[in-house]
Structures are given as structure tokens and as C-alpha cells.
């Protein structure tokens, strides 16, 4: 049983409340500073240099990984950081999220970031029959965007473990998205004019590594430039 007196307990409670008040003041000051920075950015014309596609996985926040500050990057997050082929009638949300930063903000770089232990890629690699009815309302149809990557990995690395295949597919699915980006006329036009660069990346949060590569236009299927 505690031997602390009533007076001592009151004193400690007072210290606790005082510390809490100090903490609240510090937090309030930081919030005020942040709002000031945001107002400054708002007063200027947006000059985002990057359009970033990243996974919705909470472990891989691109702002945290690359230390983006407000106004530096226009970020789009979805399952397995994928971009479908250009189609006006489907996936219009993705198209709109691309069109605005590219045609209005004039971003200079598109960066697609894959990551380790991606659940979306694991789901893709687990689909045994691509023609079978989907077992989910949206997820399977979405991750099937990466089917070309899955097929290539199964063919080239079929002797590896499932986990190793998934790691390879995490990177190859990024390459599929890089190619798909070129099916969008407003992307392709700017890439061909040298106004836009497309890069892929893979973040391994287990080993703490970040790989970065650039789309090789010379090896990209000619159909994207027709």
C-alpha cells in the first residue's frame, strides 16, 4: 500500500496537470505553425514536382518515406499502386487523378512506388485461374491489372518459393504500370517531348532499402506510341 500522503498526491496531480497544459501549448504552437505553412503554400500557385502512385498500405506512406513537404507531391494511393490501361469508360477516378496534376500542375516526374510484402500483389499471385469468376466485388478485378507481371514471374521464376515470386512481382507490377501510363495520351505526349519523366521504385521496409529506376522508352512496346 502506498505511503504517499494526501498532500503529496495533490502536489503530484498539480504537476501532472501543469505538464499536460505545457504539452497542449506546444501542440497548439506546432499546429499554428503548420497552418501558417499551409496558408503560405495556398497563397502561391501549386508547383508540385511529382505525381506519386503508392499503395494504400499504411506501412508505406510516401510522404514519410521520401520526406515530402506540403506542395511538393501530388499523391495517389490505391491497392498495389497500380494504373490501368487508358479507358475513358472505366477507372475514371484514376484517370482524373492523373490528368489534373499532369495537365494543370505540369508535374515533371511520375513516380510509382511498389513495396515489400504487398497484400495486393500476394492476392494477384494467388489467383490460379484468371478466367474464373472473381471472389470479391472489386479487389480481384483491380489487381488483375498486374496479370502480365504475374504471368512473366510464373514463367521466369516458377521454381522459386511463393514469397520470392511475390517479391519479384512487386517490382515487375511497377513496370507494368509504367507501361500502362504511356497508354494515356497526355502522358505519352509529354514523355515524347521530354517534359515528363516516368520512374519506378520499390521500398523494402523490412531491409530498409529503396530501389529507383527509370522507364526505358526504347524497350517499351511500340503500340504505346502509335
Annotated binding site: 55, 57, 115, 118
What are the CA-CA distances from residue 205 to residues 62, 112, 192, 211 (Å)? 12, 16, 34, 12
Q: Other CB atoms closer than 10 Å to residue 82's CB: what's the count?
A: 26
- The residues, ordered by sequence, that sit 6+ positions from 55 with a Cβ below 8 Å of its Cβ are 77, 78, 79, 80, 81, 113, 114, 115, 118, 120
In terms of DSSP bridges, do strands 197-204 and 109-115 run parallel, antiparallel, or are they unpaired?
Answer: parallel
Nearest to 201 by CA among 50, 36, 52, 20: 52
Torsions phi, psi of 137, nearest 5? -75, -45
**Rounded-to-integer distance, Cα 196 and Cα 201, Å:** 16
**Rounded-to-integer distance, Cα 198 and Cα 215, Å:** 6
- Which residues fall in the annotated binding site for Zn(2+)? 55, 57, 115, 118
Amino acid at each position: 500500500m502506498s505511503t504517499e500522503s494526501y498532500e503529496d498526491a495533490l502536489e503530484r496531480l498539480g504537476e501532472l496537470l501543469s505538464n499536460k497544459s505545457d504539452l497542449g501549448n506546444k501542440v497548439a504552437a506546432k499546429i499554428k505553425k503548420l497552418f501558417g505553412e499551409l496558408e503560405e503554400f495556398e497563397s502561391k500557385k501549386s508547383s508540385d514536382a511529382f505525381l506519386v502512385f503508392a499503395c494504400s498500405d499504411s506501412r508505406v506512406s510516401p510522404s514519410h518515406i521520401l520526406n515530402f513537404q506540403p506542395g511538393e507531391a501530388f499523391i495517389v494511393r490505391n491497392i498495389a499502386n497500380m494504373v490501368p490501361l487508358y479507358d475513358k469508360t472505366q477507372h475514371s477516378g484514376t484517370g482524373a487523378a492523373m490528368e489534373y496534376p499532369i495537365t494543370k500542375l505540369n508535374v515533371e516526374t511520375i513516380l510509382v512506388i511498389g513495396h515489400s510484402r504487398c497484400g495486393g500483389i500476394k492476392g494477384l499471385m494467388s489467383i490460379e485461374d484468371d478466367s474464373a469468376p472473381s471472389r470479391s466485388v472489386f479487389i480481384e478485378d483491380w489487381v488483375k491489372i498486374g496479370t502480365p507481371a504475374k504471368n512473366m514471374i510464373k514463367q521466369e521464376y516458377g521454381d522459386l518459393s511463393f514469397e520470392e515470386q511475390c517479391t519479384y512481382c512487386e517490382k515487375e507490377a511497377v513496370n507494368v504500370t509504367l507501361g500502362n501510363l504511356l497508354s494515356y495520351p497526355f502522358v505519352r505526349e509529354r514523355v515524347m517531348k521530354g517534359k515528363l519523366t516516368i520512374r519506378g521504385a520499390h521500398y523494402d521496409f523490412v531491409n530498409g532499402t529503396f530501389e529507383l529506376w527509370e522507364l526505358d522508352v526504347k524497350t517499351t512496346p511500340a503500340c504505346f506510341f502509335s
